[in-house]
Amino acid sequence: MLEQQVAAADDEDRRSLEAFRRGDRRAFEALVRRHQKPVWAVALRFARDRDAAEDLAQRAFLLALERVDELRGAFRPWLMRIAVNLAKNHVRDHAKFDRGATPEGAHEPLPDEAIDGERRRRQVRAAMAGLSDRQREVVMLRIDAQLPFAEVALALEITENNAKVTFHQAVRRLRELIGGVDGGL
Partner 1 sequence: MAACDERLPALVDQATGALDPQGEAALEAHLAACPGCRDEGRALRSATALLAATSDVPEGFALSGFAARTAARAETFRDRSARGLWWSLTRGVRLALGLSAGALAASLALFLAAPAAPSPASDRGVAPAAEETFAEADLAPARDTTVVTLDSAFDALSGDDLEEFDQLLEENPT
Binding site for partner 1 (CB under 8 A): 20-21, 25-26, 28-30, 32-33, 36-37, 40-41, 44-45, 54, 57-59, 61-63, 65-67, 70, 72-73, 78, 81-82, 85-86, 88-89, 92, 106-108, 117, 120-121, 124-125, 139, 142-144, 148-149, 157, 161, 164-165, 167-168, 171, 174-175, 185
Return the half-sphere exposure (C-beta side, CA atoms, 13 A cut-off) of residue 132. Answer: 9
CB neighbour list of residue 178: distance below 8 Å, 6 or more residues apart = 123, 124, 127, 184, 185
Report, in Å, the least distance between residue 81 CB and partner 1: 6
Report, in Å, the least distance between residue 11 CB and partner 1: 19
Identify the CA nearest to 165 among candidates 135, 127, 133.
135
Residue with smaller CB distance to partner 1, 36 or 48: 36
Report, in Å, the least distance between residue 117 CB and partner 1: 7
Residue with smaller CB distance to partner 1, 78 or 98: 78
Report, in Å, the least distance between residue 28 CB and partner 1: 5
Report, in Å, the least distance between residue 120 CB and partner 1: 6
What values do phi and psi take at 104, rounded to 5? -60, 135
Identify the CA nearest to 42 among candidates 151, 132, 144.
144
Residue with smaller CB distance to partner 1, 96 or 108: 108
Q: Is 22 exposed, middle or buried (0-12, 13-18, 19+ CB in 10 A)?
A: exposed
Residue with smaller CB distance to partner 1, 99 or 168: 168
Residue with smaller CB distance to partner 1, 28 or 97: 28
Report, in Å, the least distance between residue 163 CB and partner 1: 9
Identify the CA nearest to 124 among candidates 99, 146, 87.
99
Residue with smaller CB distance to partner 1, 67 or 99: 67
